[in-house]
Amino acid sequence: MTARVERDGAVAVVTLDNRDGLNVLDAVTMTALRDRLLELEADRATRAVVLTGNGDRAFSAGADVKYMRGLDASEGLEWGRLGHQAGRLLETMPKVTIAAVNGLALGGGCELALACDIRFASAGAKLGQPEILLALFPGWGGTQRLARATSLGFARDLVLTGRTIGAEEALERGLVSGIHDPVREKALEVARAAATRSTAAIAAAKELLNSSLQGGHAASLALEAERFGELFARTDAAEGLGAFLEKREPRYSDQ
């Protein structure tokens, strides 16, 4: 399978598995990934998602260049939309999404990692947006998410030069949250903890974080206040507050 799903309790591990461990993103792989993410978004039993690549060579070495070479403008538009669909699902589904970057994360592979809420890298990971070397630019959200995850200046550096960076520089720039080996185990550790949180609170927090660098500051603060108040109408908030006061683990019902 090109995008397989395994279960670890309430955590779903989505593994890209294509092309001898390089996990190249072709149309079949991206369609499968999008469809698996759609299923996980709707699955109430899944409370956190880890995205990784098969083997230790690559999270994903990027999009299939041979496939892209044959695309015309309308086909290129649809190809871009497919990548955006997968990225938006990772970014907006009401569950914490974590990228375990094991090896190369280039081009579309880096963009999928950027769409996740949290990113961890292996010590030997290499990340970059080399599309400019092919007379293209990152078209699956990279021009937007890279600047938000790091800084506009650093995004200009990577996107306009096409250079690849190692895990240490990625950590220094805030592109990843930590360097761990084995990186999958660290991602699972964090995902298991995230899976114990209230889905309603996670969904509201993600909505606000995703809009935090958009629109007017006053409007964003007003939306935060509104969403914060709405959570008090849910039984999860009563359970979380009660569990804290009673010094016990909460039992959320997602209500």
Active site residue 111: yes
Q: How many degrees, rounded to 5, is the angle at CA 184 between CA 178 and CA 185?
A: 90
List 41, 91, 131, 224, catalytic entry: 131
Residue 131 a catalytic site member: yes
Q: What are phi and psi of 96, to 5 degrees?
A: -70, 130
Q: DSSP assignment, residue 150?
A: S
Place of tokens 């999008």: 34
**Pairing assessment for the beta strands 3-8 and 58-60 based on DSSP bridges:** unpaired
Closest to 134 in 3D by CA, of 165, 162, 155: 162
| Dihedral sign computed on CA atoms, order 39, 196, 187, 105 | positive
Angstrom distance (rounded) from CA 85 to CA 169: 29
13 bridge partner residues: 6, 50
Q: Are residues 100 and 118 in contact, defined by beta-carbon separation less than 8 angstroms?
A: no
Alpha-carbon gap, residue 93 to 202, rounded angstroms: 9
Q: Which of 6, 39, 75, 111 is catalytic?
A: 111
Strand order in the sheet with 48-53: 3-8, 11-16, 48-53, 96-101, 118-121, 178-179
Considering only CA atoms, which of 137, 142, 3 is closest in space to residue 60? Answer: 3
- Catalytic residue ranges: 111, 131
